[in-house]
């Protein structure tokens, strides 16, 4: 029983990070109906930002989080300005394939500049520390990453639901033309939403180098898991993406521990298929 709780909690901590990555994808999807295929690659770039800050300037990932968030915010806004802007109103496949091209570009640009080797930061503030609570053991880096993700997802949710700017985002998501008639600059809303979506994944990627190695392929799996979380949670629903993220993290950890490590992703994708076959629009979709 104790092992079960331990594995479950580990999975949930991972799941919170998934939830943050998924929340970034979720608002982009919810507002613009665009699947950002380069989302996992944003995460990878954020990890490189955090790694190089730590390696060259000795900045701890805990502080680099801010830099990585800002960097990916700019990257996201640039993606919108240079690519996505031209795909709005065209078939959904166009934006998906354009961001797929961006993903190939980012992955190989990083491979070219930083080599395909695994890079890991040692001696960070958090590395190798653990927290004992009774018989349960928490690795501190994962714990901090999970709690940080929880806070950021909460902030995004509050931003969208309580501020004037958030209402403008919601209005744009509901009906672009009507929102424009109400005097909302929807082009700017899209730009900022893409930036915020990027910032979410930037923050997640910023903290990760304190416990995960960086390499050009690291983002692909996170990206796929984020798609699954968002679709499982339901179209554009941040609470849905959050719950789905935690669910995916738990199932991944439990299947990896109790069945076999190779089965963890089979279980995750199987879970997605089960959920959407029962509820074709996801848990919170309608």
Partner 1 sequence: MQRKALNKKDALWLGFVVLLALLPLAPVVAANSFHMHVAILILLFASMAQAWNIIGGYCGQVSFGHSVFFGIGAYGAGMAVVTYGGTPWPGILIGVMLAAAIAVVISYPCFKLSGHYFAIATFAIVEIFHRTFLVWDWVGGALGLDYPLVKEGLKNLMWYDTKTGYYYCALILFLLIFGVVRWLEGHRFGYYMRAVREGQETAESLGVNSTAVKLAAMALSAALTALCGAFFVQYNLRVDTPMVMSLDMSMKFVLITVLGGSGTLVGPLLGAAVLIPLQEYSRALWGGLGGGVDLIIFGLLIILIVVKQPAGMIGIIRDIGKRVLKQKSAAKGDSADGTP
Q: Does 269 help bind partner 1 (rule: CB under 8 A)?
A: yes
Binds partner 1 by CB under 8 A, chosen from 42, 51, 265, 284: 265
Q: Which residues of 136-173 are buried (b: 16+ CB within 10 A; e: fewer)?
A: eebbbbbbbbbebbbebbeebbeebeeeeeeebbebbb
Measured distance CA(232)–CA(267) in Å, rounded: 14
Query: What token pair was written down for 46?
Result: 């954020």
Site for partner 1 in 209-228 (CB under 8 A): 224, 227-228
Q: Does 257 help bind partner 1 (rule: CB under 8 A)?
A: no
Site for partner 1 in 84-113 (CB under 8 A): 86-87, 90-94, 96-98, 100-109, 111-112
Q: Which stretch binds partner 1 (CB under 8 A): 28-36, 55-63, 144-152, 194-202?
A: 28-36
Q: Which stretch binds partner 1 (CB under 8 A): 81-89, 123-131, 186-194, 205-213?
A: 81-89
Q: Does 83 help bind partner 1 (rule: CB under 8 A)?
A: yes
Nearest partner of 44 among 276, 219, 274, judged by Cα: 219
Positive or negative, the CA dihedral 154, 4, 214, 141 is positive
Measured distance CA(57)–CA(59) in Å, rounded: 5
**By C-beta, is 62 or 173 nearer to partner 1?**
173
Site for partner 1 in 160-199 (CB under 8 A): none
Q: Are 33 and 11 in contact (CB under 8 A)?
A: no
Binds partner 1 by CB under 8 A, chosen from 35, 160, 243, 251: 35
Q: Are 241 and 19 in contact (CB under 8 A)?
A: yes
Q: What are the residues binding partner 1 (CB under 8 A)?
A: 29, 33, 35, 83, 86-87, 90-94, 96-98, 100-109, 111-112, 116, 224, 227-228, 231, 235, 260, 262-263, 265-266, 269-270, 272-273, 276-277, 280-282
């Amino acid at each position: 029983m104790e092992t079960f709780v331990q594995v479950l909690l580990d999975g949930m901590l991972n799941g919170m990070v998934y939830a943050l990555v998924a929340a970034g994808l979720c608002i982009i999807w919810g507002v613009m109906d665009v699947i950002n295929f380069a989302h996992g690659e944003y995460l990878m770039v954020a990890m490189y930002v955090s790694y190089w800050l730590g390696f060259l300037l000795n900045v701890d990932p805990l502080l680099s989080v801010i830099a990585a968030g800002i960097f990916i915010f700019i990257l996201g806004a640039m993606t919108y300005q240079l690519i996505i802007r031209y795909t709005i109103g065209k078939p959904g496949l166009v934006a998906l394939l354009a961001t797929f091209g961006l993903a190939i570009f980012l992955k190989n640009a990083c491979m070219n500049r930083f080599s395909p080797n695994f890079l890991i930061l040692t001696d960070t503030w958090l590395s190798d520390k653990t927290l004992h609570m009774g018989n349960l053991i928490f690795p501190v880096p994962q714990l901090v990453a999970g709690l940080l993700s929880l806070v950021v997802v909460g902030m995004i949710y509050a931003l969208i639901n309580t501020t004037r700017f958030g209402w403008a985002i919601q209005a744009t998501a509901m009906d672009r033309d009507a929102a424009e008639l109400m005097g909302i600059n929807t082009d700017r809303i899209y730009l900022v939403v893409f930036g915020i979506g990027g910032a979410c994944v930037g923050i997640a990627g910023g903290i990760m180098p304190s416990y995960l190695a960086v390499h050009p392929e690291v983002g692909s799996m996170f990206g796929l898991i984020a798609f699954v979380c968002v679709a499982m949670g339901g179209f554009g629903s941040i609470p849905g993406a959050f719950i789905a993220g935690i669910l995916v993290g738990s199932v991944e950890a439990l299947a990896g521990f109790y069945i076999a490590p190779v089965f963890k992703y089979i279980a995750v994708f199987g879970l997605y298929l089960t959920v959407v076959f029962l509820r074709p629009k996801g848990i919170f979709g309608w």
